[in-house]
Amino acid sequence: MLVSLSEILEPAGAEGYAVPAFNVYNMETVMGVAQAAKKLRSPVIFQVYSRLFEQGKGDYLAPVILEAVKGLSVPAVFHLDHGSGQDTVVRALRCGASGIMIDASLKPLKENMEETRKIVELCRAAGVPVEGELGHIGSTRDETASEFTRVDEAVQFVEETKVDALAVMIGTAHGKYKKAPQLNLQRAGEISRAVKKPLVLHGGSGVPDEQVKGAIAQGVAKVNFGTDLCCAFLEGIKKTAEGTIAIDLFMNEPIAAVKEFAMEKIRLLGADGHA
Ligand code: 13P
Ligand code: ZN
């Protein structure tokens, strides 16, 4: 059942769990995630990196996601992840996205707010909620991490842009961590209480379980998993019996591996049984 980003995040915040947002790349990753959500009766977000829309792959992937969502009785969102600008946002909307992220977090505050507000206005016309990013969540390969999101700036950002969800920098990064991150959970709590909007934790792969749970207790309602889903998929490929040639059969192990991975994260976030 396709729902909007706000519809899926609202009960999560109120009931103290978070909705998992899985980055999907192809039909098989979509299938693994869908099977996990169905089995555990969990709300779920299928999200697609901006890059895939820029390369034309999003156009192929979108109908697959919408088909999976149609077959699910649990609430599900089709979300654009790290939207790079208006063109990509429009493309994702045309493809049926029910959640949009605009990421202008590398720009100075004023420009980030201007661009984000423009996208919120555009998406309002389509009835689609928007996630913005304040404080840049970088890569684990970066030499230095950005500053944590400031509470006063978060308040200003939410007031001026009217975003529906806010991605914050509290110590995570995208990719494989060299050493376990140490999240600033206190900052998450301060921002959450000040902005009264669901917070989004990016870079969920490799964050220790206790810290993920701590972040949820402090107002995080959406947790993104990308890298570790890819790793599960690739491990599944390695397990596939040598000599398997038919591609549909070749893909059975990776689908099962993604399902297992997604089930583990659904349970970690406490989202099981909430649909
Ligand atoms: P990871 O790849 O580190 O899990 O991050 C995913 C993410 O934040 C997608 O936006
Ligand atoms: Zn991210």
**pLDDT at residue 90, rounded to an integer:** 98
81 a catalytic residue? yes
How many angstroms separate the alpha carbon of residue 183 from the centre of ligand 1? 15
The dihedral built from the CA positions of residue 8, 9, 14 and 18, taken in this order, carries a sign that is positive
Tell me the average confidence (pLDDT) per consecutive run of 10 residues in the chain, 275 residues long.
Answer: 98 96 98 98 98 97 98 98 98 98 98 98 98 98 96 98 98 97 98 98 98 98 98 97 96 98 98 96
Q: Is the CB of 172 under 6 A from ligand 1?
A: no
Q: Which atom of ligand 1 is nearest to the CA of 174?
A: 3
Angle of the 86-94 helix axis to the 109-126 helix axis, nearest 10: 20
What is the CB-side half-sphere exposure of residue 92 using CA atoms within 13 A? 34
How many angstroms separate the alpha carbon of residue 92 from the centre of ligand 2? 17
Could you give the CA distance from residue 67 to residue 71 in angstroms, rounded to a whole number?
Answer: 7
pTM above 0.75, yes or no: yes
Q: CB of 120 within 8 A of CB of 130?
A: yes
Cα Rg of the chain (Å, integer): 18
**pLDDT at residue 132, rounded to an integer:** 99
**pLDDT at residue 120, rounded to an integer:** 98
Q: Which residue has the tokens 């100075």?
A: 108
User: If you average pLDDT over every residue of the chain, what do you get?
Assistant: 98
How far is residue 70 from each of residues 12, 66, 137, 253, 260, measured CA to CA in Å?
Answer: 22, 6, 32, 24, 22
What DSSP state is assigned to residue 268? H
**pLDDT at residue 22, rounded to an integer:** 99
Q: Is the CB of 174 under 6 A from ligand 1?
A: yes
How many angstroms separate the alpha carbon of residue 243 from the centre of ligand 2? 37
Q: Is the CB of 224 under 6 A from ligand 1?
A: yes
Q: Is the CB of 81 under 6 A from ligand 1?
A: yes
Q: Which atom of ligand 1 is nearest to the CA of 137?
A: 8
How many angstroms separate the alpha carbon of residue 228 from the centre of ligand 1? 9
Closest residue (by CA) to atom 8 of ligand 1?
202
Burial annotation 47-70 (CB, 10 A radius, 16+ → b, else e): bbbbebbeeeebeebbebbbebbe
Closest CA to 95 of 73, 142, 128: 128
Closest residue (by CA) to atom 5 of ligand 1?
203
The catalytically annotated residue of 81, 164, 228, 272 is 81
**pLDDT at residue 136, rounded to an integer:** 97
**pLDDT at residue 231, rounded to an integer:** 98
Per the document, the length of the chain is 275
How many angstroms separate the alpha carbon of residue 133 from the centre of ligand 2? 9
Q: Which atom of ligand 1 is nearest to the CA of 176?
A: 3
Angle of the 57-70 helix axis to the 86-94 helix axis, nearest 10: 40
Which residue among 102, 140, 225, 231 has the greatest number of ligand 1 atoms within 8 angstroms of its CB, and so is best to mutate?
225
Closest CA to 100 of 135, 72, 126: 126
